[in-house]
Amino acid sequence: MTTDNTSNTVTLSVASRDDVTKRALAAFDGTAQGAHISFASVELLWQTMTPKRWDLLKVMTGQGAMSMREAARRVGRDVKTVHGDVHALLNAGVLDREENGQITFPFDAVHVDFTLTTAA
């Protein structure tokens, strides 16, 4: 797999609190870590990133800030139904809200990274 280090890519991953702390400490020491949004479990990642929320990310990736109404228009859904998904993504730290109230997904690409292992 080739990774383009020049793109503004966020990695969605499953990571323990220890892993997140290690990454933060390495960043404080000056080692670039890249943008990460971590979830405590695969189940939490998939609970948060539902198919309709993925659709939102797809239309918002690399597009800059937009109104919730514009995001709803782009996914072909009612603003009221998009509202709940936007707030779930805001609460999870996936989306950001601008001072003017617009929402943004400030990345040009998304990489999902987790490993499935045998059950213990």
pLDDT in tens, 11-55: 888 876 777 667 667 667 776 666 778 888 888 888 999 999 999
Q: Find out whether 51 and 97 touch, Cβ atoms under 8 Å.
A: no
pLDDT in tens, 83-118: 999 999 999 989 999 999 999 999 999 888 776 777
**CATH architecture for residues 9-113:** Orthogonal Bundle (1.10)
Q: Are strands 35-39 and 109-113 parallel, antiparallel or unpaired?
A: unpaired
What's the pLDDT score for residue 112? 84
Count of residues for the chain? 120
